[in-house]
């Protein structure tokens, strides 16, 4: 029989192994719909329902995830915002288009993330804990962009979704004129920021980015965007229960790694910011701990 000392020494490893097994076998597939109310419309406005999708990291054969995603159309959102990292395999474009299904028939906007451009590379799941807070331009990202991002772009835009990669654009949604600004992935330093103010004639102005780097959030807050949407962080992916995220993989603080928060620069009104914890993972780090995969329904109100 093992001694008490041996059991005490083994306990942390047993707990750790059990936690990793739980994260890899259950939580990574425990898809969750989050709901928030965001007061960004004029007083007295009727609500507007916005579905925020991010970081699906689809692989061929992920039928459970695809079925759950297709079911989101039953929410009947007024607008879909997709903040990138849709695919995680060279042949996954048809899978993600099938998973989004009827959502592609709704008004929508999108930007891409690094994994829409570059195929994933093998790494340890614990590499996420090393995180890093800086932009990841150069290095591994200097290789050719081998993912079918142009196929995705063509499919999204042909269904009516607006490509916001370093662009301003407008949509009329439920009779309201919405102004958008977007950037290509800041994690790759693909973002091109300008000083144009938010359109004051719009019923609402929204900023859309894949990665919530502070230079982007600061610029859009100073430019008068009341709502900013991003993904990329995976909510920390490997989190401590009761504590939260350990890393964000960008320069955003871990307290705001996921969920609805505010962002404010000196002398300006605060912007509401929603960071999605996303729906997937890298195929080489298929685990989540205390951070379930998610989509979010934001009810925008007066």
Q: What is the pLDDT of residue 2?
A: 55
Question: What's the mean pLDDT in 268-273?
Answer: 98
- Nearest alpha carbon to residue 157 among 146, 167, 147, 144: 167
- Percent above pLDDT 70 for the chain: 86
Q: What is the pLDDT of residue 129?
A: 57
In this predicted model, what pLDDT tens digit does every residue of 65-97 receive, in sequence order?
999 999 999 999 999 999 999 999 999 999 999
Q: Is the pLDDT of residue 1 over 60?
A: no
Across the beta sheet with 271-275, the strand order is 167-173, 176-182, 204-208, 227-230, 271-275, 259-263
Q: What is the pLDDT of residue 137?
A: 59
Q: What is the pLDDT of residue 18?
A: 46
Q: Is the pLDDT of residue 123 over 80?
A: no
Predicted TM-score (pTM) of the model is 0.92
Question: What's the mean pLDDT in 99-107?
Answer: 98
Q: What is the pLDDT of residue 141?
A: 79
Distance in angstroms (rounded) separating the CA atoms of residues 15 and 228: 38
pLDDT confidence tier of residue 126, bands split at 50, 70 and 90: low
| Residue 9 falls inside a structural domain | no
Helix axes 63-71, 93-100, angle to 10 degrees: 30
pLDDT confidence tier of residue 9, bands split at 50, 70 and 90: very low
Q: What is the pLDDT of residue 122?
A: 82
Instruction: Report the CATH number that the domain containing residue 219 is assigned in CATH.
Output: 3.60.21
pLDDT confidence tier of residue 132, bands split at 50, 70 and 90: low
| Residue 22 falls inside a structural domain | no
Q: Is the pLDDT of residue 202 over 80?
A: yes
| Residue 7 falls inside a structural domain | no
Greatest C-alpha distance within the chain: 76
Instruction: Please list the residues that pair with 58 across neighbouring strands.
Output: 87
| Residue 243 falls inside a structural domain | yes
Average pLDDT, the chain: 91
What residues make up the domain containing 276? 31-301
| Residue 144 falls inside a structural domain | yes
| Residue 154 falls inside a structural domain | yes
Question: What's the mean pLDDT in 235-239?
Answer: 95
| Strands 204-208 and 176-182, bridge-based pairing | parallel
- Nearest alpha carbon to residue 299 among 128, 47, 131, 68: 47
In this predicted model, what pLDDT tens digit does every residue of 11-41 receive, in sequence order?
343 444 445 554 555 799 999 999 999 999 9
- Percent above pLDDT 90 for the chain: 84
In this predicted model, what pLDDT tens digit does every residue of 137-188 receive, in sequence order?
555 778 999 999 999 999 999 999 999 999 999 999 999 999 999 999 999 9
Q: Is the pLDDT of residue 8 over 90?
A: no
Q: What is the pLDDT of residue 204?
A: 98
| Residue 3 falls inside a structural domain | no
Number of domains in the chain: 1
| Residue 1 falls inside a structural domain | no
């Amino acid at each position: 029989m093992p001694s008490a000392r041996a059991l005490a020494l083994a306990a942390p490893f047993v707990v750790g192994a059990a936690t990793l097994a739980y994260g890899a076998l259950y939580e990574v597939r425990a898809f969750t719909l989050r709901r928030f109310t965001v007061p960004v419309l004029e007083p007295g406005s009727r609500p507007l329902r916005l579905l925020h999708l991010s970081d699906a990291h689809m692989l061929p054969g992920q039928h459970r995830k695809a079925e759950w995603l297709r079911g989101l159309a039953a929410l009947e959102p007024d607008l879909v915002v997709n903040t990138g990292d849709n695919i995680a395999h060279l042949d996954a474009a048809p899978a993600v288009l099938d998973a989004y299904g009827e959502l592609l028939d709704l008004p929508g906007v999108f930007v891409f993330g690094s994994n829409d451009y570059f195929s994933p590379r093998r790494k340890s799941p614990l590499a996420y804990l090393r995180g890093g807070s800086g932009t990841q331009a150069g290095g591994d990202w200097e290789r050719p962009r081998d993912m079918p991002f142009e196929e995705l772009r063509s499919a999204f835009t042909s269904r009516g979704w607006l490509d916001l990669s370093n662009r301003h654009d407008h949509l009329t949604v439920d009779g309201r004129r919405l102004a958008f600004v977007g950037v290509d992935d800041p994690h790759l330093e693909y973002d091109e920021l300008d000083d144009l103010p938010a359109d004051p004639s719009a019923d609402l102005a929204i900023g859309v980015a894949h990665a919530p780097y502070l230079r982007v959030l600061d610029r859009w807050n100073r430019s008068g965007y009341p709502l900013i949407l991003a993904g990329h962080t995976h909510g920390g992916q490997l989190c401590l229960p009761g504590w939260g995220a350990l890393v964000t993989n960008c320069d955003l603080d871990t307290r705001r790694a996921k969920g609805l928060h505010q962002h404010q620069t000196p002398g300006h009104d605060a912007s509401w910011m929603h960071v999605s914890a996303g729906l997937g993972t890298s195929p080489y780090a298929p685990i989540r701990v205390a951070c379930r995969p998610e989509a979010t329904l934001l009810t925008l109100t007066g």
